[in-house]
Structure 1
Amino acid sequence: MSGILASTKRHARTVKGIQGFPIIMLINIFLGIGFSFVIPFNSMFGIDEVGMSNTSFGVFMLISSLCGIFFSTWIAKLSDRVPDRKFILILCSLAAVIGYLGFAFSRNYAVLLFFSSVFIGISSSTFSQVFAIGREMLTRSELPEKQVPFYMNILRTLFALSWTVGPAIASYALLYMGFTGLFMVAATCYAIVSIIALLFLRRKSEAAGRSAAKEILPLKQIMLQPLILINVIAFACISTAHNMSMMNMAQFVTKEIGGSQQDVGVIFSITSVFEIPFMLGFGILATSVKSDKLIRLGAILALIYFCVLFFAESSWHIFGLQILSAAYISITSGIAITYFQDFLPDMPGTATNLYSNANKAGSMLGFMLFGFVADVFGYRNVYLTCAAFVLVAVTLLFGLRYARRTPAEASISG
């Protein structure tokens, strides 16, 4: 026990000594709270509150995701060229404030689609910018390179920490204040993000920004590298499964197995509670084990999770399964960020956005398929579809292990 405490104190001192890193950690906490208040209840808002059908909700999310990919790709390229990301982060978080205020006070499909496509689409870059800034801070510090994945995982763990209580509190906010109160809280969290960034986040030197800009590669050239392309497809498949599951969970629990809204909040909170030790543990493991091996492990755990979830008959069955969910999410959303950033160490914004856009592409497909599969085959069979997508990802990731790669690609994967 004393050894754990000593190690924790040592890491805390290290974090405190990295210029600006405690501020970006604080920003990440509020970003996570904003996410955790909205994402678990998206389908309930669209279907139960606004009155969308499963299919029209899928179309709504499809269009929103397409716009998110467009805006985030453009913003990522811009952020790797400008001297400093601070004001891009502020503008993206302010866009979220406007977007979620629109969600709070409108129930019109067309109006909501506008706010979601434009303002929430722009705000989708907030996550990428936070982790790109975090990576830059670690790179500029005196931290040994092999320790970077661990401290990036600490940053990702704080995002998960926000989810330990966020969905459960959100379920009670929904119960007593409705969706208007829910989205008001989310807007407030993003407003706090912009205020903290404006007042406390120091600007990067202009010289550093110019030197990074010289290393920019065309996006087409990046995407045509087989290693990157295959990883993007694999992560898009995992994201498809994850987002179908996220959209399906509230409906599955409340309409298929007789659970309550509070059960939904508990289910999402359990995942986040276990994500924290898993992320720290896998972060430590990543300092000595190649990240591609951990990524393959995460994909296998996801496959097992969705296969077993298909057979759940009660909320308490899902409670236990969320531990397995936390394990695969800890890898595919924690280690994966550093894994993608290592592909393009001089372009952290673009690299993080590759990971983020793989998730958005998966979200887009997942949202579209969720409505179709749920309408035609039922909420339970959504999880069988999730398992099929993860099986594709597992096949691709293990295929990379045996594929012939160029020396440059081999060096990227470590």
Structure 2
Amino acid sequence: MSNFLAAVRKRTQSVMGIDGFSVILLVNVFLGIAFSFVLPFSSMFGIDEIGMSNTEFGVFMMVSTLFGVGFSTYIGKLSDRVSDRKMILVICALAGAIGYIGYAYSRNYYVLLAISATFLGISTSTFSQIFAYGREILVKAKVPAKEIPFYMNILRVLFALSWTVGPAIAAYVLLYFGFKGMFLVAAACYIIVVGIVLLSLKKTSKEEIAQPKPPQASIPLRQVIFQPFIFVNLIAFTLISTANTISSLNMAQFVTKVLNGEEKDVGIIFSIPPVFEVPFMLGFGILALRVKSDHLIRLGSLLAFAYFGTIFFATDIWHIFPIQVLSAAYISITSGIAITYFQDFIPDMPGTAMTLYSNTGKIGSLLGFLLFGLLSDAFGYRNVYLWCAIFAFIAMIMLFALVKAKRVQFGSSSSVSA
């Protein structure tokens, strides 16, 4: 154990020595705070503050998600064709600031929908661009390829850490300053991101601009998506994200209406995974130095299946508490190691790769929003977890089926084993 902690300490300290990476880490913290301020309270804002019905809120989220997927896909592909990703990152963050300022002052459903679909749709690419920028910094610093997953996990850890304090601070701001104050703080975080990027990230040199972009950057997006190995991974991760979203929406109802628990029990259940996610992310990051990411991803799908399947058999509140450690474990892999896993598909197109990964989460969330009501009404809250387990099992089978699959090397006739 002491050797493991020493390895984590040594690797973590080395992060600060990589030129520009500490800036990206700081940017990621403020982006995480902005996310954690808004997402937990989005349904309260829509339904309680604006007066949307459940159906109107569902349509609102669906339209916003679809536009977000469209914008992020286009921006991700564009970012791999331009020489300086910095200005794209600035534009995306600026769009987020404008969007949340609009949220602070407007209470009209259609105005908010337009803001969400456009400005916030563009801003969804900020997350992807930060991680794509982070990978480019590591590559330029000549960090060994086998060590990149650990450093990318550090980047993901700081985003997760923002969620440990963000919602609590947001609740305080909401209590004293209302939704207007909460959204203005989120907008301020995006403005800080813009400032840090403009002032601290180095501009691409003339020599780097003069270098031709890799031929992979001009490959049509459809050809990338429908390459069998990548397409199967996209479907599998979308299924896991769908199961995760349905599970999160269902938990409060399952605890209070099936297990006869209280609201405080729900709070405890949701507070357990973040405690374990940070050490798990660091641990799996160290493990990724020795084990291929493919193997860890399959482990993550197995843990997801085990989590949902075990929850289905829970008959008392206390049963769920230890099971949440499984949730932290699979999320640490599917939202940490998975970033590098996807970027390794097309290493010369980090923006596109990160966008494809993040879009599986967005589409999975969209499907989760739509399926939760249908499944819970038709089968009951307990059986919802059986469906989540089925989705995770299908994803697991798909990922294990790729053990002997071949990855296409875009721009080359060669291929490598998974």
- When normalised by structure 1's length, the TM-score is 0.89
Tell me whether 1:150 sits opposite 2:160 in the alignment: no
Cα 1:87/1:266, change in 2 over 3 Å: farther
Alignment of 1:66-215 (within 5 A): 66-209=66-209, 210-215=211-216
CA deviations over 1:89-143 (Å, ceiling 9, x no partner): 1111121122223333334322222121111111110111000000000011132
Tell me whether 1:65 sits opposite 2:60 in the alignment: no
Following superposition, the deviation at residue 40 of structure 1 comes to: 2.5
- The answer to whether the Cα contact below 8 Å between 2:406 and 2:417 also exists between their aligned partners in 1 is no
CA deviations over 1:45-68 (Å, ceiling 9, x no partner): 333443334333222211111101
- The answer to whether the Cα contact below 8 Å between 1:233 and 1:393 also exists between their aligned partners in 2 is yes
Alpha-carbon separation, structure 2, partners of 1:8 and 1:304: 28
Gaps of 5+ in 1: none
Task: Kindly report the root-mean-square deviation, in angstroms, between the aligned alpha carbons of the 2 structures.
Answer: 2.7
Q: Specify the alignment match of 1:237 in structure 2.
A: 239
Alpha-carbon separation, structure 1, partners of 2:348 and 2:42: 36
CA deviations over 1:229-275 (Å, ceiling 9, x no partner): 00011011111112233444466667775543x76665444322211
Following superposition, the deviation at residue 343 of structure 1 comes to: 0.6
- The answer to whether the Cα contact below 8 Å between 1:299 and 1:393 also exists between their aligned partners in 2 is yes
Following superposition, the deviation at residue 395 of structure 1 comes to: 1.7
Q: Secondary structure at the match of 1:69?
A: helix
Alpha-carbon separation, structure 2, partners of 1:315 and 1:47: 29
Q: Specify the alignment match of 2:282 in structure 1.
A: 280
Following superposition, the deviation at residue 342 of structure 1 comes to: 0.4
Return 296-305 or 247-256, whichever deviates more: 247-256
- The answer to whether the Cα contact below 8 Å between 1:101 and 1:187 also exists between their aligned partners in 2 is yes
Tell me whether 1:34 sits opposite 2:34 in the alignment: yes
Cα 1:187/1:319, change in 2 over 3 Å: farther
Following superposition, the deviation at residue 411 of structure 1 comes to: 5.2
Cα 1:343/1:163, change in 2 over 3 Å: same
- The answer to whether the Cα contact below 8 Å between 1:244 and 1:369 also exists between their aligned partners in 2 is yes
Q: Specify the alignment match of 1:395 in structure 2.
A: 397
Cα 1:313/1:345, change in 2 over 3 Å: same
- The answer to whether the Cα contact below 8 Å between 1:58 and 1:370 also exists between their aligned partners in 2 is no
- The answer to whether the Cα contact below 8 Å between 2:227 and 2:408 also exists between their aligned partners in 1 is no
Following superposition, the deviation at residue 401 of structure 1 comes to: 2.1
Gaps of 5+ in 2: none
Cα 1:233/1:407, change in 2 over 3 Å: closer
What is the aligned-residue identity percentage?
62
Alpha-carbon separation, structure 2, partners of 1:166 and 1:378: 33
Alpha-carbon separation, structure 2, partners of 1:307 and 1:5: 32
Q: Secondary structure at the match of 1:132?
A: helix
- The answer to whether the Cα contact below 8 Å between 1:28 and 1:155 also exists between their aligned partners in 2 is yes
- The answer to whether the Cα contact below 8 Å between 2:8 and 2:286 also exists between their aligned partners in 1 is no
Aligned residues: 412
Alpha-carbon separation, structure 1, partners of 2:24 and 2:145: 19
